[in-house]
């Protein structure tokens, strides 16, 4: 078995908890419309994925929504409503600390937007443990595109086979495995700690 020398982690539903439904409801209050209408505009149209791929910046997204809804919107209120949806997964912090203490490079690999990433980084300490951030809007690629995994492996500074990755979406796990990465579906902190311990990482197995 190849020795794991770096760990790659997804962000949403792994390091932080969040709800898109809450985001839509909060944004709907600012926009003066129904959450279902925003779901159509952002999700069903693919606009949000384009934003997370870095194809639109924040002023463009604001303009797109104003045009679609035919009204002026307060951009700061809108961005706050979109971002204030996260809480850290505190159970992951001891694991991250053990990996850091063992000298294992930690790489964040996330499909995300600037306002979401910056809100999480500025609001919680959980991202302080990471050495590198591979963010979809910066590299203009979304999981499961092989290109984003290549960026993460390069940042880790080891081979793909020496990288561990976890994500809560199976499609992303399958894609990572196709790139040669040792990838496992995330369930919770206890499960992923056992997986890492079983792979020979110098961490405790847990209680």
Domains in the chain with CATH codes: 6-17+86-198 (3.40.50.1000), 20-83 (1.10.150)
- Residue range 199-204: average pLDDT? 95
The pLDDT score that the predictor gives to residue 49 is: 97
pLDDT digit string (tens) for 138-191? Answer: 999 999 999 999 999 999 999 999 999 999 999 999 999 999 999 999 999 999
Residue entry with tokens 């490079």: 105
Structure tokens at 136: 């979809």
Measure CA of the first residue to CA of the last residue in the chain; give whole Å. Answer: 25
Q: What is the mean pLDDT of residues 75-86?
A: 98
> What is the pLDDT averaged over residues 101-119?
98
C-alpha distances (whole Å) from 64 to each of 23, 31, 51, 109 are 17, 13, 11, 27
Q: Is the pLDDT of residue 39 over 80?
A: yes
Q: What percent of the chain has pLDDT over 70?
A: 100
Q: What's the chain's average pLDDT?
A: 97
pLDDT band, residue 104 (cuts 50/70/90) = very high
Query: Mean pLDDT across the stretch 95-122?
Result: 98
Asked if the model's pLDDT at residue 68 lies above 90, the reply is yes
What is the C-alpha separation between 132 and 136, in angstroms, rounded?
13
pTM for this predicted structure:
0.96
Please, which pLDDT band fits residue 100 given cuts at 50, 70 and 90?
very high
Pairing type for strands 6-9 and 106-110 reads parallel
Residues 188-204 have a mean pLDDT of 97
pLDDT (0 to 100) of residue 186? 99
Q: What does the longest C-alpha to C-alpha distance in the chain come to? A: 58
Q: What are phi and psi for residue 185, nearest 5 degrees?
A: -65, 135
Q: How far apart are CA 25 and CA 81, in angstroms?
A: 9
- Looking at the chain, how many residues does it have? 207
Q: Of 163, 175, 169, 171, whose CA–CA distance to 201 is shortest? A: 163
Q: What pLDDT band is residue 207 in, cutting at 50, 70 and 90?
A: low
């Amino acid at each position: 078995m190849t020795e794991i020398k770096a760990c790659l982690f997804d962000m949403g539903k792994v390091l932080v908890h969040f709800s898109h439904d809450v985001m839509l409801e909060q944004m709907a209050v600012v926009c003066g419309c129904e959450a279902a209408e925003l779901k159509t505009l952002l999700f069903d149209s693919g606009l949000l994925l384009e934003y997370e791929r870095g194809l639109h910046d924040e002023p463009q997204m604001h303009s797109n929504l104003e045009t679609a809804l035919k009204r002026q919107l307060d951009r700061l209120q809108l961005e706050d409503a979109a971002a204030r949806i996260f809480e850290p997964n505190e159970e992951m912090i001891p694991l991250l600390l053990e990996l850091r203490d063992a000298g294992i490079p930690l790489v964040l690999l996330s499909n995300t937007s600037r306002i979401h990433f910056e809100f999480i980084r500025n609001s919680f300490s959980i991202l302080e443990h990471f050495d590198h951030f591979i963010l979809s809007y910066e590299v203009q690629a979304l999981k499961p595109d092989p290109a984003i995994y290549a960026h993460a492996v390069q940042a880790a500074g080891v081979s793909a086979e020496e990288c561990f990755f976890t994500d809560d979406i199976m499609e992303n796990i399958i894609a990572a495995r196709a790139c040669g990465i040792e990838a496992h579906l995330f369930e919770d902190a206890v499960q992923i700690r056992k997986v890492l311990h079983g792979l020979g990482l110098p961490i405790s197995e847990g209680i």
